[in-house]
Copies of this chain bind each other. A is one copy, B any other.
């Protein structure tokens, strides 16, 4: 590849990255609970760091080795996860001073999202067979993760449940819920 072509590719990447960076700042989740969560952890590295942290990884070099992530990105993501309350930064060595990153209760409460992602990945992308999964500790039998209602234990993504406004819904959410309901009626 000629130097000119290389430069052009670099420039394209730079342009795409710049536009994305400028646009990323514009994301406004409004009242959407999914959006508000993704504001904090809506990128691959943050989610992979959380996966690692929940499995017991805690030190910078361990994260780096496990994920193959560049140090500058890792530093930035760890700081953001601390800021958002998912990780707690704590010194584990005095000379030289070194910190580890421990999961908080907030991060533990996020585990079901990663479990749902794992289940989806195992259903669709485990082309060579299952490499890792959650199993019942007592029996070793593989779990089949499903999202249900705690009270009724019915799957939420079936026909028994619908998307609805809550008591604090503002006009944007109310309009969206009405649109979803119209769509549901039109399809049925």
- Interface residues, chain A, CB within 8 Å of chain B? 13-14, 16-24, 26-28, 31-39, 42-45, 47-48, 51, 55-56, 66-70, 72-73, 106, 108-126, 128-138, 140-154, 156-157, 159-170, 173, 176-177, 179-180, 183-184
Contacts and interface: CB of A to CB of B under 8 A. Distances in A.
Nearest to A164: B135
The 3 closest A-B pairs by CB, nearest first: A33-B121, A129-B168, A130-B166
A47 B42 contact: yes
B106 A112 contact: no
User: How many copies of this chain are found per oligomer?
Assistant: 2
A61 to B, nearest CB: 14
B168 A131 contact: yes
A168 B104 CA distance: 32
B68 A28 contact: yes
Given A34-B118, A153-B148, A159 B132 contact: no
A126 B33 contact: yes
A24 B68 CA distance: 10
17 contacts: A13-B21, A13-B22, A17-B21, A19-B73, A34-B114, A37-B124, A37-B125, A38-B117, A42-B44, A56-B183, A115-B116, A126-B166, A126-B168, A132-B164, A134-B164, A143-B149, A143-B151
Contact of A115 (B43, B119, B147, B184): B147
B21 A16 contact: yes
A184 B55 CA distance: 9
Contacts of A125: 33, 36-37
A112 B31 contact: no
